[in-house]
Amino acid sequence: MSLYWKCQIAGWSFYGLLAAGIPTLYGGMRWTVALRAALGIAMGLFLTEQLRKFMLRRGWPWLPLHRLAPRVVLAAVVVATLMVLILLPLLLVNITAADPAGPLTTIFSIHLIFVLGWILLYLGYHNLRRVHVAEAEKLRLELAMRETELSALRAQLNPHFLFNSLNSLRGLITENPSHAQEAVTRLAALLRHTLQLSRARTTTLEDELEATRHYLELESLRFESRLQYEIDSDLESLDVAVPPMLIQNLVENAIKHGIARLPEGGSVRVTIRKSSQDLHIRVTNTGTLADEPGKRGIGLTNSLERLRLMFGEGVSFGIRQLEPSEVACDVVVPIATRRPARTASRPSSTVR
């Protein structure tokens, strides 16, 4: 049984006890007294339940105090009057005084106080619970926010990639010095791109593709013939805003979940297409999706959440098995030259 009904029953039982007890003290127990108490309880339960539904329908719990107060008083008067009127025949039978007006006023006042108390208790509890729920919701949102923030930060600099690259580089220095020099330059460019992103909310497609190319070249040092790649873009202008690291992260995933698991390796292909309003980014890799259920879901959810933070609802994100041994990841983001919707720029104080 809900707390509401427990309180209802306890409260109206107390009412019934008073309604039966007081006349009994004055004039002894009579069946009319018992009937009046029982009818009072039934009336109370029924009327307050109707009142509750009415208040919720009219949104009373959400009203400001100055508009709520007169409504509460009026409702209490109406309900108390109704109760007393319906009980009136039974009440009159039990009033022994010559003039029933005095006792009736007292009875009405008691009913009024009872109903008023009921409304205040109900609204008070309702409000308290709403505050709690809101608080919990706020916490949950903040947590989700921080989570995406964190995963974005983590994604910026994958230590595994960095140390593997450095290790390959160390080997390359004696083996092929000029190739090693080139790789150092690439790594520097990639790190610079990554570090600048911590300041910028967006980057241009041009910069992002450049960084992705560096990234793929560096991974090629590790994977050698196991990694083939291709970047294919049909855009004339690359001056389109994209979330930083978006393409690079997709490629990173393609390598981590695809190529790195295959002893024979495979290929990664980045395709960029533009429609009238959207930018279509597709990253395919050799491999199968079914490898790792569950684990992949979290990364997907985070990526989607990040995109939503940046672009609002106009984004789509999907990953699927394109062919028996090829996985495709598709991202569609609305095109906004240079600047996307600024939904992402929320005050940092809410995050700290």
Partner 1 sequence: LRALIIDDERLARSELRRLLGHHPEVEIVGEAQNATEARRAIDDLEPDILFLDVQMPGESGFELLASLEAVPLVVFTTAYDEYALRAFEVSALDYLVKPIDPKRLASTVERLLVTWRAGSASSLPGESRTDRAKAPLSPHDRVFVTEGERSWLVELGTISLFESEGNYTRVLFGKEKPLINRSLNQLEARLDERVFFRANRSQIVNLKAVRGIHPWFGGRLMAELEGGQEVTLSRRRARAFRELMSV
| Angle at alpha carbon of residue 75, lines to 71 and 80, rounded to 5° | 155
Q: Cβ 343 to partner 1, closest distance in Å?
A: 34
Shortest Å, Cβ 160 to partner 1: 4
CB–CB of 289/319 below 8 Å?
yes
The 3-state secondary structure of 132-188 reads HHHHHHHHHHHHHHHHHHHHHHHHHCCHHHHHHHHHHHHHHHHHCHHHHHHHHHHHH
40 versus 287: smaller Cβ distance to partner 1: 287
- Closest by alpha carbon to 332, among 259, 274, 287? 274
Nearer residue to partner 1 within complex by CB, 79 or 221:
221
Q: Which is nearer to partner 1, 165 or 203 (CB)?
A: 165
329: number of Cβ within 10 Å:
23
Six-digit token pair at 216? 């793929």
Return the number of the residue (187 or 331) whose C-beta is nearest partner 1: 187
Residues lying near partner 1 in the complex (CB under 8 A) are found at: 159-160, 163-164, 166-172, 174-175, 221-224, 260-263, 265
Of 8 and 168, the one with the shorter C-beta distance to partner 1 is 168
Q: Minimum distance from CB of 165 to partner 1 (Å)?
A: 9
| Phi, psi dihedral angles at 274 (to 5 degrees) | -125, 130
The neighbouring-strand residues paired with 218 are none
Q: Cα–Cα distance between 302 and 152 in angstroms, integer? A: 9
Lookup: tokens for 77: 């008067």
- Report the C-alpha dihedral over residues 194, 199, 204, 209, rounded to 10 degrees: 0
Minimum distance from residue 62 beta carbon to partner 1 (Å): 49
* Lookup: tokens for 197: 């992103």
Give min distance, CB of 196 to partner 1, in A. Answer: 24
Structure tokens at 326: 């090829």
Compare residues 64 and 159 and give the one whose CB is closer to partner 1.
Answer: 159
Closer of 234 and 264 to partner 1 (Cβ): 264
Nearer of residues 93 and 157 to partner 1, judged by Cβ: 157
| Minimum gap (Å) between residue 217 Cβ and partner 1 | 14
Strands 278-286 and 266-274, by their bridges, are antiparallel
DSSP character at residue 258: I
Sheet holding 278-286, edge to edge: 227-233, 266-274, 278-286, 326-334, 316-323
| Longest CA span, the chain | 118
**Min CB(221)–partner 1 separation in Å:** 7
Closest approach, Cβ 213 to partner 1, in A, equals: 20
**Looking at beta carbons only, is 44 or 265 nearer to partner 1?**
265
Find out whether 134 and 95 touch, Cβ atoms under 8 Å: no
CB 32, CB 94: distance < 8 Å: yes
Q: Least Å distance between CB 315 and partner 1?
A: 31
